[in-house]
Amino acid sequence: MSFAEARTAGSPALSVSGLSKAFGGVQAVKDVDFQVAEGELLALIGPNGAGKSTCFNMLNGQIRPDRGSVKLSGEELVGRSPAQIWRRGVGRTFQITATFPSMTVAENVAMVLMSQARELFSFTRSAVNRHRAKALQLLDMVGMAGQADRPCGVLAYGDLKRVELAVALGNEPRVLLMDEPTAGMAPRERVELMGLAARLAHELDVAVLFTEHDMDIVFSHADRIIVLSRGELIAEGDAEQIRSDPLVLKTYLGEGQVYGQDKKPKD
């Protein structure tokens, strides 16, 4: 508890204010404000269709918000492309893993390093084994160094998630967005992966924002939790506070959701 509080007291890496987006007549996200501090794990939860993925996609530039601001250490991100936002230090993992199946695990990570080093328009240097040492180092952090030379396409799902984590950490991000990091994984794997993410976030001082359906994971790993419902923030606090928040209870139970149910929202 005290640890988490100490973290929240740190300087905010990402500040979101007044973030809003409507699709057609539907207000998907409305006036959302929150901050994530360096080294903090902030969970964003909410029932299906609450606007979590829309929120995420606005943070990394895939969707342009109607209103509001997203600031990374004071710098405005709204209006920038995903590539530009990534370059400023916002990494991301996807709900369904997105890796490069025609490359080996090590190459997947090396790809980020090449992008970060702005080498992608180099036509004649060799990319074979490029940045391999650094890639192996990153893979070692997620426990995947042993499988560095296997193609990404043949990996088990849990391992793919780890590779994605290594990829997301590749450009030493200040903020890491993880969309349903444990979706589709076995319970034991989930705990392992989130434990890993939490450890790395704290060690590397990365601000982590994640969405998650598994409430056990959320309550055991998040330093702080915000709850989104119908596009609006309805609660914020630590695990205890959220667990006992009547509005949250109503939102979840009222919709017949069961904690920990593994369901993929469609946005």
Q: Which residues sit at the interface with another protein, rule CB under 8 A?
A: 53, 57, 60, 62, 81-84, 86-87, 91-92, 94-104, 107, 110-112, 114-116, 119-128, 130, 150-154, 160, 167, 170-171, 267
Least Å from the CB of residue 168 to another protein: 8
**DSSP annotation of 65:** -
Distance CA 125, CA 12 (A): 40
Instruction: Pick the closer one to another protein by CB: 84 or 241.
Output: 84
DSSP annotation string for 27-64? EEEEEEEEEEETT-EEEEE-STTSSHHHHHHHHTTSS-
What are the Cα distances from residue 218, in Å, to 18, 83, 129, 231? 25, 29, 38, 20
Q: DSSP 3-state assignment of 90?
A: strand
Do 18 and 68 meet the contact criterion of CB atoms below 8 Å apart? yes
Least Å from the CB of residue 121 to another protein: 6
Least Å from the CB of residue 249 to another protein: 29
Least Å from the CB of residue 57 to another protein: 6
Which run of H or of E encompasses 129?
Answer: none
Least Å from the CB of residue 184 to another protein: 11
Least Å from the CB of residue 24 to another protein: 15
Cα 10 off chain centre by: 19
Do 44 and 209 meet the contact criterion of CB atoms below 8 Å apart? yes
